Amino acid sequence: MARDAVTVRAGRRPGYLVVVGWDFSTEPEFQAQLDWMREFVREEVWPIETVFDELGTEGFERAVAPLKERVRERGLWAAHLPPELGGQGFGQVKLGLMHEILGTSPFAPVVFGNQAPDSGNSEILALAGTEDQKEQWLHPLLAGHLRSAFSMTEPDSAGSDPTLLQTRAVEDSDGWVINGHKWFSTNASVADFLIVMAVTDTEANRYRRASMFIVAADAPGVRILRDVPTMEHPYERYGIHGGHAEVLYEDVRVPKDALLGARGAGFLIAQQRLGPGRIHHCMRWLGVSRRAFDMLCERALSRYSHGSLLAEKQTVQNWIADSAAQMQAARLMTLHAAWKMDTEGASAARQEIALIKFYGAGVLHDVVDRALQAHGSLGYSTDLPLEQMYRFARAARLYDGPDEVHRQSAARQILRGYEAPAGGVPSEHVPSRREAARARFAELLEAVTAND
């Protein structure tokens, strides 16, 4: 019998199977936490979605305060942080599984203390901040007393190539002076402080030119111009949570200790933050995809047209099967990237992370699009959350690096494992291989021919 290299759990191992060090099971205590989360998010957080606008900011805070308390009691608050900062120190696989559940509602990350961009910014501060910076910015951020933004992208330079950044920070005897123009700084219009990426060393290697700074939002010279209207919020509104602000930094003076991490280490710190962030994004997208997929299946079983239910049309069956296959592929790829990061470190997982970023964003887009299509005009209307999911899905192909850049990065890394064939002849070139094989089997071929 063939010896299948599959993993089975101890105690259920048929004699013929070879066990490899690979396991898809979740430890029972953590599975119990995930089960609790799934029910809690569905029962307590999903209902808030439909009355969010009516609640307003204050009402929303009041609605989520007791829920946050329950998350803390359960030991799941800000789980991405190390235990000394009140988190769980969970590895990326566990965090990934949690984010799959949190992704089902835009408000679940808020209730679990890891909403973007505060979660990523708290990681940066935990990673690179001095004790004083942690005291002043990180602890109040974690306690929910402050809000933050990450300010890197600029309207006048390509965000997909941050080595082109134009914002400058110049050192003088008192500290630093920052000048620049940013946009899409999420939450900047409601933030208390911004983490700003600026070029400090124009002559350095392109990846050592930029540094990060902590800038108070009310520092003289910080001008939050507007929240840019987007597919998400098409009408101009200012000061909204989740708004993407355009910001001018005009001779903004910050003290020396506003420098976050080493001078020139801006990209290095950003990379360390972005790896886990992308895994969390991809798992949250799967949470959204699953919700859309459930709607697709429900609709297929209830809508009747041209003599049968949609469930009986092959196109709709293809949508269901393709969506299930794509979601499963994205989930396994993402958890594998998380496992690699946990076991071998962030830089070893770079290729896997590049693959999931564009693949996962595409899966989200496709699944939501099919679910929306299956609902016809109901899907396009705001009577269902699908149109909102669709707008959300479109942005996923841009933020944290557009698809094309991740494809380019993955392809470059893959190509490092190859070299051009000698003389430009493909190594699979059949006539060349045949010639070599004829030389190798000359005796045998001669004997066969002699027998003819």
Interface residues with ligand FAD (CB under 6 A)?
A: 117, 150-153, 158-160, 184-186, 244, 395, 398-399, 401-402, 404-405, 408
When the beta carbons of 158 and 447 are compared against ligand FAD, the nearer one is 158
Q: How far is the CB of 160 from ligand FAD (least distance, A)?
A: 3
> Which residue has its beta carbon closest to ligand FAD?
159
**DSSP letter, residue 19:** P
Strand partners, 224: 247
When the beta carbons of 196 and 295 are compared against ligand FAD, the nearer one is 196
Helix axes 350-374, 266-300, angle to 10 degrees: 30
CB 116 within 8 A of CB 262: no
When the beta carbons of 70 and 394 are compared against ligand FAD, the nearer one is 394
When the beta carbons of 160 and 432 are compared against ligand FAD, the nearer one is 160
Query: Rounded to the nearest 5 degrees, what angle is found at the Cα of 243, between the Cα atoms of 407 and 276?
Result: 40
CB 106 within 8 A of CB 49: yes
For tokens 């991740």, the residue is 406
Query: Rounded to the nearest 5 degrees, what angle is found at the Cα of 247, between the Cα atoms of 243 and 249?
Result: 155
Q: How far is the CB of 221 from ligand FAD (least distance, A)?
A: 19
Q: How far is the CB of 400 from ligand FAD (least distance, A)?
A: 6
When the beta carbons of 299 and 357 are compared against ligand FAD, the nearer one is 357
Distance CA 124, CA 274 (A): 10
When the beta carbons of 114 and 323 are compared against ligand FAD, the nearer one is 114
Q: State whether residue 80 is helix, strand or coil.
A: coil
Distance CA 91, CA 27 (A): 13
Q: What is the rounded end-to-end Cα distance, in angstroms, of the chain? A: 39
Q: How far is the CB of 166 from ligand FAD (least distance, A)?
A: 12
Structure tokens at 414: 């893959």
CB 98 within 8 A of CB 334: no
Q: How far is the CB of 162 from ligand FAD (least distance, A)?
A: 8
When the beta carbons of 380 and 399 are compared against ligand FAD, the nearer one is 399
When the beta carbons of 185 and 323 are compared against ligand FAD, the nearer one is 185
Distance CA 34, CA 43 (A): 14
CB 100 within 8 A of CB 31: no
Q: State whether residue 439 is helix, strand or coil.
A: helix
When the beta carbons of 288 and 316 are compared against ligand FAD, the nearer one is 288
Q: How far is the CB of 183 from ligand FAD (least distance, A)?
A: 8
CA distances from 315 to 300, 310, 319, 320, 373 (A): 11, 9, 6, 9, 11
